[in-house]
Structure 1
């Protein structure tokens, strides 16, 4: 198994972006929702806040716990992309490049936003 430093960095950025997509992004809420329960709570200002917690038991609870943990999901995303590299290389390269570029763009945007807040 031979992997260059450049490919390692690109792979890492792709894992970062896909993991965030699955765990946090609104567009993948439909993936998480069967495994989560919504709880509403009023904060000190009287506004209602909605919390998502993994279901209590069974496979849905396990998947909910997995999808609510950035670190846990990251491991499985890494394994999936790594297996894709060997078994579906024709799909691996474009998927990883798109995810890596999106991940880098997200980091740059976060950095820019942090500089604009004073």
Structure 2
């Protein structure tokens, strides 16, 4: 299967969105929770801040380190997206398109929020 510039763009957007889904989004917090310990500290303004630290050892530490690194998770997300695209194109194309559209929406939202702050 030949990859076009359009396919590359769509796969990139889908990978971007899947990565953010696993690393940052609240909806997947339950997936990340077993791999992190919470540390709560008070900052100089008296506000409580929560830090997530990877577990101390074993597989949970490895996965915690992976999920705390946007770049690391991005490589695996891209591998999953591209693998699904090549191995199961009929099944994966709608999922990839949904992720790509959500990725564009996320980027547009960031742009709008930036413009509203100016």
TM-score (norm 1): 0.97
Does 1:48 pair with 2:53?
A: no
Question: Deviation above 4 Å: which 4+ runs of structure 1?
Answer: none
Q: CA deviation at 1:86?
A: 2.1
Unaligned runs of 5+ in 1: none
- Count matched residues: 118
- SS of 2:41 mapped into structure 1: strand
User: Which residue pairs with 1:114 in the alignment?
Assistant: 114
- What's the Cα RMSD here? 0.8
Q: CA deviation at 1:88?
A: 1.6
Alpha-carbon separation, structure 2, partners of 1:52 and 1:58: 17
Q: CA deviation at 1:2?
A: 1.1
Alpha-carbon separation, structure 2, partners of 1:66 and 1:73: 6
Q: CA deviation at 1:53?
A: 1.0
